[in-house]
Chain A
C-alpha cells in the first residue's frame, strides 16, 4: 500500500488531496508511480506531465529514480513558494 498526497495547485487540478494505492510490482519508483497515476484520466495525464513538479518520499525530497516500498508516503507538488 502506498499513500499518495497532492498539494496546492496540483491538488486543485486533480480534485484530490490524498489516495491509497495497492502496491504493485511495477510501481517501484517515483517515476513509475507518476506514470501509473497519469493513466487515471486526461486531467491526471496533463497535470502530472508538468516537468516542474517535485516529489517527496516519507517527507524528504525525492528524485524520479527514488525507490518505493509498501508503506511509503509519497507526495507530489508544484515548486515551493514559501518565505
Chain B
C-alpha cells in the first residue's frame, strides 16, 4: 500500500508484481470533466494514517476472501492534473476469476471506505466532488451473506 504525492508509472508498477497465472491491474485517471464542468486539476485531501490503515484492511480482506499471490494499491494525494493516474491496483492469482474479483472488490471498497476527498479545479472555480450512490451500491454487492457460501461472487 502506498499513498504518495509523486506521480507513478502503471507500467513500472505492473513489472514489480510477482509472476502469476493471472494478473489484473486497474488504473484510474483524472477525468477532464466532472459534474460541475471542465476540470483542469484535482486537489486530493486525505486523512494521513487512516488512509494507509484503510487500504491495508481492504487488501487483507481481499486476501482472506480469494487466493491471491499479491494485492497492491497505490493512491496519489495532493495536486493532480487532468489525465494523470490517480490510483492503481494490481492483483495476482493463479486464475483469472480470483484476480478479476479481488481487483474490483478493492476498488469498490476503496471508493466508499478509504478517507480521500477530491476537490475539482476548473474555469468555474473549485468545488468538492460529491460521493455517488452508485459507488455505494457497487460496494454493497460484495457484502457476504450471513449464512451460506463465501465464494465472493457479487449478487445480481
Contact = CB atoms under 8 A, between A and B. Distances in A.
Interface in B44-59: 44-47, 49-50, 53-54
Contacts of A51: none
A80 B131 contact: yes
A41 interface: no
Q: Interface size for chain B: under 10, 10 to 19, 20 to 34, or 35 or more residues?
A: 20 to 34
B79 interface: no
A61 B54 CA distance: 9
B28 A83 contact: yes
A81 B117 contact: yes
Contacts of A59: 47, 49-50, 53-54
Interface string B76-120: 000000000011000000000000000000010011111111110
A58 to B, nearest CB: 9
Contacts of B53: 59-60
A82 B111 contact: yes
Interface residues of A, number: 17
A78 B107 contact: no
B75 interface: yes
B129 interface: yes
A80 B107 CA distance: 13
Given A5-B47, A75-B50, A82 B130 contact: no
A7 interface: yes
B47 A82 contact: no
A72 to B, nearest CB: 13
Contact of B45 (A7, A52, A56): A7
A82 B116 contact: yes
Contact of A80 (B28, B86, B114, B119): B114
A75 B54 CA distance: 14
27 contacts: A5-B47, A7-B117, A8-B45, A8-B119, A9-B128, A56-B50, A56-B115, A75-B47, A77-B47, A78-B117, A78-B131, A79-B130, A80-B112, A80-B114, A80-B115, A81-B111, A81-B118, A81-B128, A81-B129, A81-B130, A82-B46, A82-B75, A82-B87, A82-B118, A83-B75, A83-B86, A83-B87
Instruction: In the A-B complex, list the 7 residue pairs whose CB atoms are closest, starting with the nearest.
Output: A82-B116, A79-B131, A8-B117, A59-B50, A9-B128, A83-B111, A81-B129
